[in-house]
């Protein structure tokens, strides 16, 4: 069974059903000559599942956080993507771009009012870029993100315009999203991903910009997710929040928005209290995203609801961006334009936590 | 030697020579005087065969040269006529002996005979010991003497002299004129001296004036 | 005063415009030819270099290896070096096209690149895929597909979406043209592909051609590379070295051609010398007059030099413009290759740089000035009194020409021959040749009497018929005035000497090449798997003879014996061009049986490293000599070999090393073969055997050729390479002839009085013309004799010094007697005719009569 540190999870009958489905021959999703395995519910095994899953089409390790810097806090976001390309899998060349590693890094400094960012892309191989299957270890030239034996993470991003290095230590157990890590993304059963989070990471960071180095502690949130198909064809994109609440809780919520107007295709949220390992998950009718403020990108003319009111069950939270222009144009690497903003969380008018709000598919419908 | 009858030469509408007549026998030395432009050069050119008359006859040793073609006239000139020019025209790259033997070369005379005659003529003009000298070593008068030797070396029937002393000082001129007269007489040739100097003309036996296209006694 | 001087000097030109025109045109031709050749070569080189640059982009340095590629493992080390900011791996393949049929035999250089790495360094190689609506084209560039630059698509007549077939070993791989290269410049001939697929489709798994690098600022490439475990034959080459290598490849050829093109200008200088001498002589009375009224020697000399310089100025300007026109036309009509074979396939645009234009302009002015300087000096030094006397001025040689300047130049020329080459350009030898020619012209007046005085004596002692009088006149004049004889045909000495020299060198070369071909191609039929690739030596070829092919060749009933060869290009020094390594069956005891050895071979003994026989070029370029040990990069390792002999090789200018194929197989473990030589049975017919085999061979790009055909083609290529030199030589001869015409024309006018006097004495018109013709003939004969001797000396220099130093090969001396005799006859006839035509004016009636007028 699973070596999870989580609790009993959903009721046993449902679990059995899901595992039964896993045994059945899964029909595969194919592109070109490549066949991508489907996401079926299965127990997540660690540390193996900290590592990469090269057969699946897309995977990411996505870390967002806040640094308590003087005089103003900073937001930071590091994402390492791994994608399996549809090129002919028969190609034996070591250079064949079967796997691509893409990395984004962005620093949100309210004083600048815009993101300081960099992106890289390379094909995996020759030790120059790759993702280990044994544990979380992903690198691209000199950018790296690695999980060490004691469970802590180390990250080094010598980017253009800044140099960020930090360690992140888990202060809480791993959080399996969805049903034991099987996270649905749409009404169809195959629209799903494997998804777990590490919220409330204690960060010690060193950021060098323009020759000046600052050291600051902070709080971060890591998502590791992998899948072959995530999005319904009718989807435009998603809105997602990962919030470290001040009381030690961890809040995740997302909705998959429709291209045409109408209710979201899917929505989900999870909330875990500071002491209890129990994860409360919420299904579509219980999760609601309502825009509070909008911002238009001067570059892409996309209109983002940069502040949102999010109802999770019977609690209502509000997000407030650190600043408005936190749009990322990653067409050079990941091929997408999205808004990834450090945001504060408040509940009932009082500050409740900090984290990130991510919104995709506003400039153009997302394709994954 | 030289017999001219009814010679006429026109340039355009103007008749330079008109019904001119002249008779010269061997040993006869005549001077022709006249103003510039009177036609002295023209007369000389016609006698030499360098020009063709519009009318009349020119006989040298009986042959009417006016009836000959250019090459024939040239060949006749080669054998029958000797020339002395005002500007010497001694070839500076040839020594005196070579300059004097030039007419003999043109006639195909064997080298041995050439040597003998050249020596004879150079001695006659007083330059016998300067056979191997180069023209630039000589004075104007000496050069004209070489020219005289050259004019006579091939024993021409007729010697034509065109202002031979024009470039010489008076003393030298007299000596050259005397030499010329002597040399012509000694070889039994007929001579025509063209000059505008009365003084030079006096060295000849007869003096004729070219007047309105005719020769009249001066 | 100055106005008066200028008027007197310039008036002559107004009176005799032909002379001025001839001088200007001669200089113009010389400058135009030199400049045009330079422009063509420079434009071709620039195009070539930019083509190479567009392939390597903005890399600071590259790790380069042999044409066959090197192991890709190196990338892991290089890419992780902290001094390396970016490492872009490239696999360059020379794809042999077989489909569509009309493209068979052509090659396409394909760059296999990693899109993400190459985007920063060589953006022109990034393709743009043609994506259908609704298709996901994001990964197209990582997938199978060829991307061609618009220029290549146009040249090959292909469109995006077409499929081409490429010979890879025994297979034909079909590649789809997936898009174009929008970033390529108009002239770029680029094709790219994903490196992963390039390795796979072209059967080059595990290999790289080079790694382009961007280094951290201030990094020292040498020190960095020293820490890398690069296999033998793989080295770091900086961007500077890469462009130097391109330039070095063709430098010897370009410089030699430039020097050759200057021959015409050189001759032009001699022409100006002749003309100015004439003009000075004709005006000596005026010049003396100037001196008498107070002009100093220096001023007279300066004036005359300025006059000559003015011709040079006008001529050079004309020449630059003409050169631009000729170069533009030649580039459009002939492309950039002037016969060297380095620049075929290049369609360069004219590259105009102010520097060379000014340089050639200055050369033209200098040539004219130098040519006019000596006569000016003589004019200044002559005594006014003497000059004021009547006469034509050339009649007496005021001072005997001193011999010491000419002899001094000869000595200097000899000393220069001892100089070693500077960067493979035999500058010493070229200068020696120039000095030799000048010395020949200077010594001509001293030599003239040796010819004319005996001639005169002989004639003077004979009884000549009256008709033959002109001979007497001509010889007495020429014997007495050697300067006159010398000046008239100075241009001919130079141009004829150079013509003889070039003709001799080419004849010797051709004979040597012919003989060499005989030695090197003993079999009747030759089979070659790779089509010829470009001379730059970049990229590995994709075709070789398969085992099945080899069996087919051996099994043919009329094939008596088959000898298989493996040839490849290896890099011994990254700054130098690649060296050819030829592995074939060589008997160690008797290498002369297969190689045209020069000198003796070392007898190989057990225990010594395996023997290698090197070509003459290797000896010159790398200093290797018999008995030395040499390390050859084979299969990534530096294997020691012993230099056992030197052989003559005309085919590979940058060096070739032959080793026994058994040794190669043992060291590399490789059994592929690229060429085969077939000996046929006595009753066999080569064309028929070729026809039969062609159809049976698997390798579709294989070429079979009969030896006779190969030799004929080789000699044709040889002749074509020298075609340009023939054109340049002809130009020089024409200038020389024009020189004769101009000088004789000027002389005839000046000699009017003398000739008129002769007419008075009874020389016919025909005899006058005969005199002029004889003088022309004799003067030219003298020039030809001197030119012949000088030409043979120059030929010796070219064969024994210039060619070995520039191109690293030797040849046997052979004089093309028939050609030279023909040239002599033609020149004599032309000279006589020219002299007559030029002198006709002097025999006119008015001229005759003018003798007796006052001067």
Q: Which of C466, C477, C754 sits opposite B107 (nearest CB)?
A: C466
pLDDT at position A21 is 38
Can you tell me the mean pLDDT for A230-234? Answer: 79
Nearest to C492 by CA among C532, C440, C563: C440
Residue A78 has pLDDT above 90, yes or no: yes
Q: Under a CB-based contact definition with an 8 Å cutoff, are residues B204 and B193 in contact?
A: yes
Residue of C472, C760, C765 lying closest to B105 (CB–CB)? C472
CA nearest to A243, candidates A212, A216, A264, A219: A219
Whether C852 and B136 lie within 8 Å, measured CB to CB: no
Residues C160, C122 within the same domain: yes
Residues A164-211: pLDDT tens digits? 999 999 999 999 999 899 988 888 877 889 999 999 999 999 999 988
Instruction: Say if CB A28 and CB A38 are below 8 A apart.
Output: yes
pLDDT score, position A60: 94
Instruction: DSSP for C411-448, please give it.
Output: HHHHHHHTSPPBTTB-HHHHHHHHHHHHHHHHHHHHHH
* B162 touching chain C per CB within 8 A: yes
Could A126 and C197 be called an inter-chain contact, meaning their C-beta atoms sit closer than 8 Å? no
The answer to whether the beta carbons of residues A234 and A210 sit under 8 Å apart is no
C105 and C160 in a single domain? The answer is: yes
Note the pLDDT of residue C714.
76
Looking at the partner chain, which of B86, B105, B108 has a beta carbon nearest the beta carbon of C852? B86
| Chain A residues 42-101 with a CB less than 8 Å from chain C | 85-88, 91-97, 100
Domains in chain B: ranges and CATH: 27-54+70-212 (3.40.50.300)
Taking the C-alpha atoms of residue C117 and residue C123, their distance in angstroms, rounded to an integer, is 10
Q: Is the dihedral of CA C483, C487, C489, C494 positive or negative?
A: positive
How many other β-carbons are positioned within 10 Å of the β-carbon of residue C833? 16
Residues of B in contact with C458 (CB under 8 A): none
**Residues of chain C with C-beta less than 8 angstroms from the C-beta of B70:** 764-765
Predicted local distance difference test score (pLDDT) of residue C388: 54
Give the list of residues 6+ apart from residue C457 with CB closer than 8 angstroms, or none.
none
Cα–Cα distance measured from residue C449 to residue C778, given in angstroms and rounded to the nearest whole number: 12
pLDDT at C133: 66
Yes or no: say if C95 and C542 are a contact pair by the CB < 8 Å rule.
yes
CB distance A324 to A295 below 8 Å: yes
Q: What is the mean pLDDT of each run of 10 residues along chain C (855 residues)?
A: 67 73 85 84 71 68 80 89 90 87 85 89 82 70 89 89 86 90 80 93 90 83 81 77 62 72 78 79 73 76 86 91 86 66 62 85 90 80 58 50 82 88 82 87 83 86 83 87 71 82 84 80 80 42 73 86 85 74 86 82 84 87 85 84 88 83 88 85 85 78 78 76 74 75 70 81 86 86 90 89 78 87 87 79 63 51
| Closest CA in chain A for residue C203 | A93
Farthest CA pair distance, chain A = 59
Contact C214, C58 (CB under 8 A): yes
Per the structure, the complete domain to which residue C345 belongs is given by 1-56+246-389
A275 in C contact zone (CB under 8 Å)? no
Size of interface B-C (CB pairs under 8 A): 94
Which run of H or E residues covers position A308?
strand A303-312
Query: A90 to chain C nearest CA, in Å?
Result: 10
Phi, psi of C477 (to 5 degrees): -65, -50
Contact A/C (≥3 CB pairs under 8 Å): yes
* Chains touching chain C, criterion 3+ CB pairs below 8 Å: A, B
Residue C633 is predicted with a pLDDT of 85
CB contact under 8 Å between A123 and C143, yes or no, is no
Considering Cα of A147, then A149, then A150, then A151, what sign does the dihedral take?
Answer: positive
- CB within 8 Å: C144 and A88: yes
Last residue of a domain, one of C668, C700, C732: C700
Query: With an 8 Å Cβ cutoff, is A277 touching chain C?
Result: no
Contact between residue C629 and residue C609 where contact means Cβ atoms under 8 Å apart? yes
Mean of the per-residue pLDDT values of chain A? 86
- Is the per-residue pLDDT at A315 higher than 90? yes
Q: Cβ contacts (< 8 Å) between B136 and chain C: which residues?
A: 386, 389, 396
- Region A339-368: mean pLDDT is 90
Around C511, how many Cα atoms within 13 Å sit in the side-chain half-sphere? 12
C708 within domain boundaries: no
C196 touches chain A (CB under 8 A): yes
Q: What sign does the dihedral C844-C846-C849-C855 (CA atoms) show?
A: negative
Q: Do C739 and C491 meet the contact criterion of CB atoms below 8 Å apart?
A: yes
**Domains in chain C, number:** 3
What are the residues whose beta carbons fall under 8 Å from the beta carbon of C408, sequence distance 6 or more?
A: none
A160 touches chain C (CB under 8 A): no
* Predicted local distance difference test score (pLDDT) of residue A7: 38
Residues on chain A touching C117 (C-beta within 8 angstroms): 122
Does B41 touch chain C if contact means CB atoms closer than 8 Å?
Answer: yes
Our measurement of the distance from residue C307's CA atom to the centroid of its chain's CA atoms, rounded to an integer in Å, reads 35
CB contact under 8 A, B105 and C469: yes
- CB within 8 Å of chain A, chain C residues 205-234: 205-206
Chain C stretch 130-159, residues whose beta carbon is closer than 8 A to a beta carbon of chain A: 136, 138-139, 142-144
Q: Name the residue in chain C with its Cα closest to that of B77.
A: C762
Show Cβ contacts of residue C538 under 8 Å, excluding neighbours closer than 6 positions.
C52, C55, C67, C92, C94, C109, C209
C-alpha to C-alpha distance for C223 and B171, rounded to whole angstroms:
101
Least confident segment among A114-123, A274-283, C198-207, C219-228: C219-228
List all residues of chain C from 55 to 84 with a beta carbon under 8 Å from chain A. 72, 75-76, 79-80
| Nearest chain C residue to A91, by CA | C200
Q: How far is CA A265 from CA A232, A308, C84, in A?
A: 8, 18, 48
Do C71 and C219 lie in one domain? The reply is yes
Residue C740 domain flag: no
Same domain as C162, residue C142: yes
Q: What is the CA radius of gyration of chain C?
A: 33
Q: Supply the pLDDT for residue A87.
A: 87
Q: What are phi and psi of C640, to 5 degrees?
A: -80, 140
Asked whether the predicted pLDDT for residue A4 surpasses 60, the reply is no
Task: Tell me how far CA of residue A28 lies from CA of A56, A181, A182, in angstroms.
Answer: 11, 20, 17
Chain C CB contacts of A30 under 8 Å are none
Q: Are the Cβ atoms of B85 and C463 closer than 8 angstroms?
A: no
A-chain CB neighbours of C80 within 8 Å are: 127-128
Which of residues C330, C357, C389 is at a domain's end?
Answer: C389
Residue C648 resides in a domain: yes
Q: What is the pLDDT of residues A129-152, one digit of tens each?
A: 999 999 999 999 999 999 988 889
- Exposed/middle/buried for B198, CB within 10 Å: 0-12, 13-18, 19+? exposed
Residues C286 and C361 in one domain: yes
Percentage of chain A beyond pLDDT 70 is: 90
CB C95 within 8 A of CB C213: no
Class of domain A12-360: mainly beta
Q: Mean of the pLDDT values across residues B70-88? A: 84
**Those residues with Cβ within 8 angstroms of residue C561's Cβ, 6 or more apart along the chain or in another chain:** C523, C678, C679
In contact, C43 and C350? CB cutoff 8 Å = yes
> Residue B20's closest CA among B33, B2, B7, B3?
B7
Q: For CA atoms C62, C64, C69, C70, give the dihedral sign.
A: negative
> Nearest CA to C148 among C182, C116, C173, C121?
C182
From C650, C677, C700, give the residue that closes a domain. C700
What pLDDT is recorded for position A23?
34
Q: What is the DSSP letter of C400?
A: P
pLDDT the model gives residue C334? 67
Q: Is B50 in Cβ contact with C849 (below 8 Å)?
A: yes
CA distance C124 to C110: 13
Contact criterion met (CB < 8 Å) for A91 and C116: no
Rg (C-alpha) for chain B, rounded Å, is 17
Minimum CA–CA partner of B45 in chain C: C849
pLDDT for A215-229, tens place per residue? Answer: 999 999 999 999 988
Check: complex ipTM more than 0.90: no
Mean model confidence pLDDT for chain B: 86
Per-residue model confidence (pLDDT) at position A131: 95
Chains sharing 3 or more CB pairs under 8 A with chain B:
C
C480 contact residues in B (CB cutoff 8 A): 93-94
**C interface residues, B as partner, C-beta within 8 Å:** 386, 389-391, 395-396, 460-469, 472-473, 476-477, 480-481, 753-754, 757, 759-766, 848-849, 851-852, 854-855
3-state secondary structure of C547: helix
């Amino acid at each position: 069974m699973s070596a999870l540190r989580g609790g009993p999870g959903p009721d046993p009958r449902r679990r059995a059903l899901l595992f039964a489905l896993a045994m059945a021959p899964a029909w595969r999703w194919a592109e070109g000559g490549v066949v991508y395995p489907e996401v079926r519910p299965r127990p997540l095994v660690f540390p193996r599942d900290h590592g990469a899953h090269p057969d699946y089409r897309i995977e990411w390790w996505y870390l967002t956080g806040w640094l308590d810097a003087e005089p103003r806090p900073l937001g930071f976001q590091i994402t390492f993507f791994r994608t399996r390309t549809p090129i002919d899998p028969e190609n034996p060349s070591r250079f064949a771009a079967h796997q691509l590693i893409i990395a984004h890094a962005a620093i949100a400094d309210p004083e600048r009012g815009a993101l300081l960012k960099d992106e890289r892309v390379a094909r995996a191989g020759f030790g120059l870029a790759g993702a280990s299957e044994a544990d979380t270890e992903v690198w691209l030239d000199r950018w790296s993100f690695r999980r060490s034996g004691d469970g802590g993470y180390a990250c080094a991003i010598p980017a253009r315009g800044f140099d960020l290095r930090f360690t992140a230590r888990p202060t809480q157990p791993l959080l399996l999203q969805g049903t034991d890590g099987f996270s649905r993304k749409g009404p169809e059963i195959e629209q799903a991903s494997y998804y777990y989070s590490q919220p409330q990471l204690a960060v010690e960071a060193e950021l060098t910009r323009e020759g000046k180095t600052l050291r600051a502690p902070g709080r971060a949130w890591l998502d590791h997710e992998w899948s072959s198909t995530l999005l319904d064809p009718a989807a435009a994109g998603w809105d997602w929040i990962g919030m470290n609440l001040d009381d030690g809780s961890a809040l995740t919520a997302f909705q998959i928005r429709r291209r045409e107007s109408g209710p979201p295709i899917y929505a989900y949220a999870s909330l875990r209290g500071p002491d209890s390992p129990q994860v409360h998950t919420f299904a579509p009718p219980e999760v609601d995203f309502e825009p509070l403020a909008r911002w238009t990108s001067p570059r892409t003319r996309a209109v983002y609801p940069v502040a949102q009111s999010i109802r999770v069950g019977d609690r209502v939270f509000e997000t407030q961006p650190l600043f408005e222009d936190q749009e990322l144009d990653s067409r050079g690497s990941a091929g997408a334009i999205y808004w990834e903003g450090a945001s504060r969380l408040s509940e009932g008018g009082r500050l409740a936590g900090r984290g990130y709000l991510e919104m995709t598919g506003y400039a153009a419908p997302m394709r994954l | 030697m030289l017999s001219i009858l009814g010679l006429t030469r026109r340039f355009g509408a103007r008749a330079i020579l008109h019904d001119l007549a002249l008779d010269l026998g061997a040993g006869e030395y005549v001077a022709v005087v006249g103003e510039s432009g009177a036609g002295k050069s023209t007369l000389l050119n016609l006698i030499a065969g360098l020009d063709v008359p519009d009318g009349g006859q020119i006989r040298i040793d009986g042959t009417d040269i006016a009836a000959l073609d250019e090459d024939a006239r040239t060949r006749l000139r080669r054998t029958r006529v000797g020339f002395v020019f005002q500007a010497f025209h001694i070839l500076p790259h040839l020594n005196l002996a070579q300059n004097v033997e030039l007419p003999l070369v043109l006639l195909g005379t064997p080298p041995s005979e050439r040597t003998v005659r050249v020596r004879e003529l150079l001695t006659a003009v007083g330059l016998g010991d300067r056979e191997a000298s180069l023209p630039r070593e000589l004075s104007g008068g000496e050069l004209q003497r070489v020219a005289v030797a050259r004019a006579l070396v091939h024993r021409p029937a007729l010697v034509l002299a065109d202002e031979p002393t024009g470039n010489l000082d008076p003393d030298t001129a007299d000596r050259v004129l005397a030499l010329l007269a002597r040399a012509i007489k000694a070889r039994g040739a007929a001579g025509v001296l063209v000059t505008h100097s009365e003084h030079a003309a006096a060295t000849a036996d007869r003096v004729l004036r070219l007047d309105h296209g005719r020769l009249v006694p001066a | 005063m100055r106005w008066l001087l200028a008027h007197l000097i310039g008036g002559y030109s107004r009176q005799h415009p032909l002379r001025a025109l001839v001088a200007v045109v001669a200089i113009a031709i010389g400058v135009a030819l030199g400049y045009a050749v330079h422009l063509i070569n420079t434009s071709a080189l620039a195009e070539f270099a930019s083509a190479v640059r567009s392939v390597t982009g903005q890399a600071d340095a590259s790790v380069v290896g042999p044409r066959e590629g090197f192991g890709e493992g190196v990338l892991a080390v290089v890419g992780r070096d902290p001094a390396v900011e970016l490492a872009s791996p490239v696999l360059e393949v020379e794809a042999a096209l077989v489909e569509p049929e009309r493209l068979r035999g052509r090659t396409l250089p394909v760059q296999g690149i990693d899109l993400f790495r190459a985007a920063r360094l060589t953006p022109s190689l990034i393709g743009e895929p043609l994506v259908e609506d609704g298709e996901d084209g994001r990964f197209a560039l990582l997938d199978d597909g060829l991307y061609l630059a618009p220029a290549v698509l146009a040249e090959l007549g292909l469109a995006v979406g077409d499929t081409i077939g490429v010979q890879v070993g025994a297979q034909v791989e079909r590649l789809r043209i997936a898009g174009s290269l929008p970033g390529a410049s108009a002239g770029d001939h680029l094709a790219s592909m994903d490196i992963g697929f390039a390795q796979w489709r072209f059967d080059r798994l595990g290999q790289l051609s080079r790694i382009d690098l961007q280094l951290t600022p201030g990094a020292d490439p040498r020190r960095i590379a020293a820490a890398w475990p690069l296999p033998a034959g793989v080295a770091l080459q900086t961007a500077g070295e890469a462009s130097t290598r391109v330039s070095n490849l063709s430098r010897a050829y370009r410089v030699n051609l430039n020097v050759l093109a200057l021959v015409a200008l050189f001759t032009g200088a001699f022409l100006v010398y002749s003309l100015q001498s004439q003009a000075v002589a004709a005006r000596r009375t005026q010049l003396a007059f100037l001196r008498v009224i107070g002009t100093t020697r220096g001023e007279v000399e300066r004036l005359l030099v300025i006059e000559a310089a003015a011709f040079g100025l006008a001529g050079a300007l004309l020449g630059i413009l003409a050169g631009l026109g000729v170069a533009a036309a030649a580039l459009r009509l002939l492309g950039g290759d002037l016969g060297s074979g380095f620049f075929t396939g290049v369609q360069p645009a004219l590259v105009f740089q102010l520097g060379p234009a000014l340089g050639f302009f200055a050369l033209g002015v200098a040539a004219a000035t130098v040519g006019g300087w000596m006569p000016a000096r003589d004019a200044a030094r002559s005594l006014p009194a003497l000059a004021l006397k009547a006469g034509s001025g050339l009649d007496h040689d005021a001072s005997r020409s001193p011999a010491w300047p000419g002899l001094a130049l000869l000595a200097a020329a000899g000393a220069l021959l001892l100089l070693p080459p500077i960067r493979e350009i035999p500058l010493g030898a070229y200068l020696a040749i120039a000095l030799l020619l000048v010395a020949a012209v200077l010594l001509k007046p001293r030599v003239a009497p040796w010819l004319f005085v005996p001639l005169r004596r002989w004639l003077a002692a004979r009884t000549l018929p009256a008709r033959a009088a002109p001979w007497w006149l001509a010889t007495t004049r020429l014997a007495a005035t050697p300067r006159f004889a010398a000046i008239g045909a100075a241009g001919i000495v130079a141009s004829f000497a150079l013509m003889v020299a070039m003709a001799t060198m080419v004849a010797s070369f051709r004979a040597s090449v012919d003989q060499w071909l005989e030695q090197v191609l003993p079999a009747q039929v030759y089979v070659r798997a790779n089509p010829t690739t470009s001379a730059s030596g970049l990229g590995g070829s994709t075709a070789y003879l398969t085992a099945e092919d080899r069996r087919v060749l051996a099994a043919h009933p009329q094939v008596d014996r088959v000898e298989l060869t493996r040839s490849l290009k290896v890099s011994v020094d990254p700054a130098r061009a690649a060296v050819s390594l030829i592995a074939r069956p060589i008997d160690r005891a008797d290498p002369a049986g297969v190689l045209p050895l020069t000198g003796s071979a070392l007898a190989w003994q057990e225990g010594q490293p395996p023997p290698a026989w090197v070509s003459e070029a290797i000896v010159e370029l790398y200093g290797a000599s018999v008995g030395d040990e040499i390390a050859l990069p084979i299969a990534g390792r530096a294997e020691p070999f012993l230099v056992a002999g030197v052989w003559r090789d005309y085919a590979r200018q940058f060096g070739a090393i032959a080793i026994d194929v058994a040794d190669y197989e043992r060291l590399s473990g490789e059994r592929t073969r690229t060429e085969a030589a077939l000996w046929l049975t006595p009753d066999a017919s080569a064309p028929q055997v070729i026809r039969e085999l062609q159809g049976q061979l698997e390798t579709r790009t294989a070429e079979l050729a009969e030896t006779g055909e190969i030799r004929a083609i080789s000699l044709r290529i040889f002749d074509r390479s020298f075609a340009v030199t023939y054109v340049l030589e002809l130009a020089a001869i024409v200038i020389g002839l024009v020189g004769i015409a101009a000088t004789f024309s000027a002389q005839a006018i000046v000699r009017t009085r003398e000739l008129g006097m002769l007419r008075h004495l009874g020389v016919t018109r025909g005899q006058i013309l005969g005199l002029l013709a004889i003088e022309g003939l004799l003067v030219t004969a003298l020039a030809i004799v001197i030119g012949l001797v000088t030409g043979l000396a120059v030929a010796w220099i070219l064969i024994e010094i210039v060619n070995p130093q520039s191109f690293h090969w030797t040849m046997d001396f052979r004089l093309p007697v028939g050609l030279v005799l023909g040239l002599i006859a033609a020149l004599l006839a032309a000279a006589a005719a020219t002299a007559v035509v030029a002198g006709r004016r002097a025999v006119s009636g008015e001229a005759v009569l003018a003798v007796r007028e006052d001067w």
